[in-house]
Amino acid sequence: MRIISGFLKGKKLKFLKNSTTRPLKDSVKENIFNILKHSNFISVKIENSNVADIYSGIGSFGLECISRGAKKVDFIERDNLALNILSENLNALSVTKKAKIFNGEIEKFLNKKFDEKFDIFFFDPPFKDLSFVKSLNLIKKKEIYKTSHVLVIHREKNSRDNYGNLIKIVNTKNYGRSKIIFANFY
């Protein structure tokens, strides 16, 4: 695993692969960022953005955002092994000042008071986890997103998640087992 672009380009990341976490493949990550940068249906810029990397694991997505100029990234993860590696990656890359780590349940994180709203939300829950839709509901209810925002959701290709009228899906891409959904709140 490595950083693909930006001021940290080429830097290697430590990663963990176990039954509760799975790393986002570099090729999928590169495609996500190409879509974020070049797509006509997404108006959010990574530069100077506030990012919530939810179910962050070792932080591959958020670290890529920092490398590409994000103002700050909040990493939310409850797996202690993944958090230890995330901390090691942040320290090794000398980017701790642009990051906040929240160790715990996502709902606890979302129920705190926020000084700033987010531009980008990245959701990478375990494929069998359906509770992440509750987190989407809470984000919408609390309105902690900017007018121009994007949700990037990583799911299994065959998942049939029910988003109801919660989000507007603007694009979906499949990569092997993965499905990447780009969306906005209504």
pLDDT in tens, 121-157: 999 998 888 889 999 999 999 999 999 999 999 999 9
Q: Does residue 21 lie within any of the structural domains?
A: no
pLDDT at residue 19 in the model: 58
pLDDT at residue 9 in the model: 98
Q: Does residue 94 lie within any of the structural domains?
A: yes
Q: Does residue 8 lie within any of the structural domains?
A: no
* 107 has a pLDDT exceeding 90: yes
Q: Does residue 11 lie within any of the structural domains?
A: no
Q: Average model confidence (pLDDT) for the chain?
A: 94
The confidence band for 20, taking pLDDT boundaries of 50, 70 and 90, is low
pLDDT at residue 140 in the model: 96
**Sign of torsion, CA 63 66 70 74?**
positive
* Token output for 77: 């993860």
pLDDT at residue 25 in the model: 86
pLDDT at residue 169 in the model: 96
Helix or strand holding residue 121 (H, E): strand 118-123
How many folded domains does the chain comprise?
Answer: 1
Cβ neighbours, 10 Å, residue 105? 13
Q: Does residue 15 lie within any of the structural domains?
A: no
* 22 has a pLDDT exceeding 80: no
Q: What domain range includes position 53?
A: 26-185
* Amino acid of residue 79: D
pLDDT at residue 46 in the model: 97
pLDDT at residue 21 in the model: 64
d(CA 148, CA 120): 9
pLDDT in tens, 57-86: 999 999 999 999 999 999 999 999 999 999
CATH number of the domain encompassing residue 70:
3.40.50.150
